[in-house]
Structure 1
């Protein structure tokens, strides 16, 4: 009956659940922003990035 009190695998299971949750959130974010980076949408990520870079003041 000592195997019922053994909690050695509990930490590993918690890490697996944690990493699984992070992966699910990352996939959800990719699906949400997929339309922004696709070429057939009305949004243009390349010009947006260039606009942001052009509006940043130069150091010095």
Structure 2
């Protein structure tokens, strides 16, 4: 009987652990983005006109 009461008290523990785990992953992802923000902003992969101008200048 005591064992049944003990098991009933821990029903929501798994959900709470998942919430803490996902929260930690989100915090790490945001921190990583803030650290590498300068690198991400400097790289613009969709700047096709600048890439074409570099190729044209290289062919001259």
Choose from 5, 16, 37 the match for 1:34. Answer: 37
Greater gyration radius: 2
Find the counterpart in structure 1 of residue 24 from structure 2.
Answer: 21
Q: Which has the higher helix share?
A: 2
Give the number of the structure with larger relative contact order, counting CA–CA contacts within 8 Å between residues 6 or more apart. 1
- The answer to whether structure 1 residue 7 and structure 2 residue 5 are counterparts is no
When normalised by structure 2's length, the TM-score is 0.56
Segments ≥4 residues shifted beyond 4 Å: none
**Structure 1 gaps, min length 5:** 39-43, 48-60
| Aligned residues between the structures | 42
- C-alpha root-mean-square deviation of aligned residues, in Å? 2.3
